[in-house]
């Protein structure tokens, strides 16, 4: 790998880790304008997260994505969610959770209305 390619790859990695353009330029000894051009297509303002399955960083497109790819989301679901408990029991659990939530919200409403 040529030095330039290595620098570029490192710039992306540092960016994903949350470093600023200035910090990356200093660390790699590359002009800031070059760093900026390299990472421009990644979008400076984009949020990165780590895949909950494989740990690799990915760019969040909005929403509460937790996986780098759909395949990993499905794999995670198969590994950790499916087969954990029978579906019916999970639904019953969810119903209890929602009922508790409704109870709390009702109580909050009553308190508000009484005020």
Give the residues lining the site for Zn ion (CB under 5 A). Answer: 51, 53-54, 68, 72
How far out from the chain centre does Cα 27 lie? Answer: 26
Between CA 95 and CA 76 the distance in angstroms is 23
Among the listed residues 2, 30, 1, the one whose alpha carbon sits nearest the alpha carbon of residue 14? 30
Q: How far is the CB of 64 from Zn ion (least distance, A)?
A: 15
The residue at minimum Cβ distance from Zn ion is 51
Q: How far is the CB of 16 from Zn ion (least distance, A)?
A: 14
Q: How far is the CB of 17 from Zn ion (least distance, A)?
A: 17
């Amino acid at each position: 790998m040529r030095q330039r390619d290595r620098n570029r790859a490192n710039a992306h990695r540092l960016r994903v880790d949350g470093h600023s353009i200035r910090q990356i330029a200093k660390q790699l000894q590359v002009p800031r304008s070059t760093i900026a051009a390299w990472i421009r297509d990644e979008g400076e303002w984009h949020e990165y997260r780590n895949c909950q399955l494989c740990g690799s960083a990915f760019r969040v497109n909005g929403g509460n994505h937790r996986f780098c790819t759909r395949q990993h989301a499905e794999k995670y679901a198969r590994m950790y969610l499916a087969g954990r408990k029978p579906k019916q029991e999970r639904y019953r659990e969810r119903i209890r959770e929602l009922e508790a939530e409704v109870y709390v919200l009702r109580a909050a409403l009553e308190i508000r209305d009484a005020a």
